[in-house]
Every structure is written in C-alpha cells, then in structure tokens.
Amino acid sequence: MRVGLTGGIASGKSTVSAILSELGAVVIDADRLAREVVAKGTPGLQQVVEAFGPEILTEDGEMDRAAVGRIVFEDEQKRKLLESIVHPLVFERYAAFEAAAPRDGIVVHDIPLLAESGRVADFDAVIVVDAPHETQVDRMLRDRGMAREDAEARIAAQATREQRRAIATYVIENTGTREDLRHRVTEVFEELRRR
C-alpha cells in the first residue's frame, strides 16, 4: 500500500513519520532523498554543476543549497532545469525502496509539498498532519528560532490548511501531547493495515 504523508511546516509531520516507522511502515523521506542524490561525489551533483557552474559548490565540494536556492527561486526555467535533474534520480530511489518493501507492507512517502505537487492520485491513501496556524508559528518561533515574519512567510508559501485537508484520507490533528499524537497515528496505521 502506497501512502502519502504531508503537513504544513511545523505541523509535526516528522514526528508522525518517525512513529509510523516505529510501527512498521517503510518510510521514504522525499527531502532526504533529494539531498542524497546530489551529495558530494554523486553523478547527480556532477549534473547540477554542469548545469549551473562550479560556483554552486562549497569549498569542500558539497552543493551550496542556499546558492542554488537563490538561483532557482528567481528563475522558473532554472528551477525546472534543477527539477529535471533531481526528480528522476529521486524517483529511481523511490522505486528501489518500494521494490524492497514487503508485499503486504505499508510504504509511506513523506512529501512536504504533496498538495502542491499534483501527485495525490499516486497514493492509495493520504495522511495529512494538521495544526492551527498560530500553533505552527509558535513552534517555529520556539523550536527554530525564526522571526515571526519569516514563519508567516513560510506558511504563506505552502498550500493552505484547507487545501491539504481536501486531499486527506486521514487527518491527524497535532495539538495535544506526544502521547495523544502517538495514539492517533497508531489508530490510522491500524486502519491502513485493515484496508
């Protein structure tokens, strides 16, 4: 079973992902894979350097993510070029993880921007981790040391809560204790196993 997992910034999606993994799901983290396919020494990084030039490397040969971010966020064509390099490499890794999963397993794709991606139909179910706007802002201020303006801008750049909830098979509200969250995630996992 292929399950999409998403949620707004500071909603608690990473915690839900970790709980699902503990329960036995095979969790595939899109952000982590996107970093791995352009790690130092990889063919992916070489392709990015060929496309954008050696100035996108740090002194120790790693990709300077901030420099690449500045380039691609200002130019849609360059963003599409980067995606044309990274996305096929990430999908190869997805396929390998899925092939290695048990036949009756639950494979969870942790995708922060699932609502924005147009890929909802790729999944048998979608879990949305949800938290109220002010809770998200408070967590970013407290846990990430962000300024309120930066936190608000990050939230505004993502799909709205309503857009995410509209694609949900299951909504996991993350406003209580960690035990409340674990209980709800376990309920959803058991429901997925029965499908």
Least confident of 22-26, 38-42, 115-119, 174-178: 115-119
What is the rounded CA–CA span in Å between residue 84 and residue 75?
A: 14
Q: What band does 143 get if pLDDT is binned at 50, 70 and 90? A: very high
Tokens of 164: 């995410």
pLDDT tens readout for residues 80-128: 999 999 989 998 998 898 888 888 899 999 998 899 888 899 999 999 9
> What CATH number does the domain located at 1-25+105-195 have?
3.40.50.300
Domain ranges of the chain: 1-25+105-195, 32-103
- The pTM (predicted TM-score) of the whole model is 0.82
| pLDDT given at position 163 | 96
| Contact assessment for residue 117 and residue 68, using Cβ atoms and an 8 Å cutoff | no
Rounded to whole angstroms, the Cα distance separating 95 from 177 reads 35
Contact present, 137 and 152 (Cβ < 8 Å): yes
Structure-derived torsion over alpha carbons of residues 112, 184, 189, 36, reported in degrees to the nearest 10: 30
Token pair belonging to 57: 């490397």
One-letter amino acid at 74 equals E
Instruction: Decide: 4 and 119 in contact? Cβ < 8 Å.
Output: yes
